[in-house]
Amino acid sequence: MTLMLTGVLRAATRGLLAFAVAASPSEGAAQTAPTRPAPTATAPPAPVVAPRQTQADDYTRYELLDPASTSFRIIYEVTATTPGARHFWNAIRKGSAASNESVTDPASGLPLKFIEVSGPEAKTNGFASADPDTRYIQIDLPRAVPNDGEIRLLIDKTYKDEKSYFVEPDTGFVVFARSLGVRRNSVVLPPGYEVVACNYPSQVVSETSATGARVRLSFMNIGADSVSYVVKARRLK
């Protein structure tokens, strides 16, 4: 803990921009952490506060699976930036059932160990701002986050969530509707589907896959709030 606190203070002294993870139910919503003033020789000792988990460079790719499954794959790139941290916690959004989880260290290409924990367990294990009603993937980082460095992570998981991914009864359109807190995102339609609606300005890109051509919508959220993203698609005849 002392090491971690020292690292945080050093980071603040360097003026590093940090993003702190709220106990958010999103896939990785982030919020700006308050900056901490640099200690001085004459300042009274600061109270010991557990460091907040910080992260950066979030990018999420949602691959929509067979609409009948109401499931989508999430490939989430995120970087752990809390100096000294040995774990990283990634929230499992309420209402979503997670499966097929894996975590990779992009620097080595090696898989990383993780376990699923409850909010109270995450808090006990060091995630001070864990939401008691949220479950988390607790990842063992391959090394402590360096004071002048970071640890990149690639989290792969599948969510089943019929409230976020469903078929609209009156039109037959496939709908992906989800509040997205991460700043950079893409949504990939199932093979054989065309986009017919998208409510947030997005690039449209075609990509090929083993299962056929797919349309990808990609956007950057330049605002402060989450985007209530809605994409509708229909099967090409």
Partner 1 sequence: MTRRFPGWAGAALLVGLGAADAFAQTAASTRAGTLQDPAYAERARQDREIVYFLEPPETHSFALYHDVTIRDEGRSTYINVVRAGSKIKNPSAVNLDTGEPLKVETLRGDEITKAGIDLGEPVTLVSEAAVVRFPAVAKGTTTRIRIRETYTDPARYRLSGDLLVWDRSFGRPQNAVILPEGYSLVGSSFPVRISLTGDHRIRLDFVNPRNDEVRALIHARKR
Q: Is 138 in the site for partner 1 (CB under 8 A)?
A: no
Q: Which helix H or strand E contains 224, and what residues bound it?
A: none
- Which region among 39-47, 60-68, 103-111, 190-198 touches partner 1 (by CB under 8 A)? 190-198
Say how many residues touch partner 1, by CB under 8 A: 19
95, 100, 197, 209: which one contacts partner 1 (CB under 8 A)? Answer: 197
150, 175, 198, 226: which one contacts partner 1 (CB under 8 A)? Answer: 198
111, 146, 201, 212: which one contacts partner 1 (CB under 8 A)? Answer: 201
* Per-residue b or e along 159-172, where b marks 16 or more CB atoms closer than 10 Å to that residue's CB: bbbeebbeeeeeee
40, 41, 108, 237: which one contacts partner 1 (CB under 8 A)? Answer: 237
- Cα separation of 205 and 182, whole Å? 20
Smallest distance from the beta carbon of 198 to partner 1, in angstroms? 4
Closest by CA position to 189, among listed 172, 157, 212? 212
- Cα separation of 76 and 55, whole Å? 12
Q: Is 219 in the site for partner 1 (CB under 8 A)?
A: yes
Task: Output the CA–CA distances (angstroms, integers) from residue 196 to 101, 177, 219, in the order listed.
Answer: 31, 14, 16
Encoded one letter per residue, x for contact with partner 1 by CB under 8 A and - for no contact, window 140-179 reads ----------------------------------------
Structure tokens given for 36: 């901490």
Burial class (CB in 10 A: 0-12, 13-18, 19+), 59: middle
Q: Is 199 in the site for partner 1 (CB under 8 A)?
A: yes
Is 131:93 a contact under the CB 8 Å cutoff? no
Q: Is 228 in the site for partner 1 (CB under 8 A)?
A: no
- Which region among 3-11, 61-69, 106-114, 199-207 touches partner 1 (by CB under 8 A)? 199-207
**Which residues are within 8 A (CB) of 182 and not within 5 positions of it... i.e. 6 or more apart?**
26, 27, 28, 29, 30, 58, 59, 60, 76, 221
Q: Is 38 in the site for partner 1 (CB under 8 A)?
A: no
- Which region among 52-60, 130-138, 142-150, 189-197 touches partner 1 (by CB under 8 A)? 189-197
Q: Is 205 in the site for partner 1 (CB under 8 A)?
A: yes
Is 171:184 a contact under the CB 8 Å cutoff? no
Interface ranges with partner 1 (CB under 8 A): 194-206, 213, 215, 219-220, 236-237
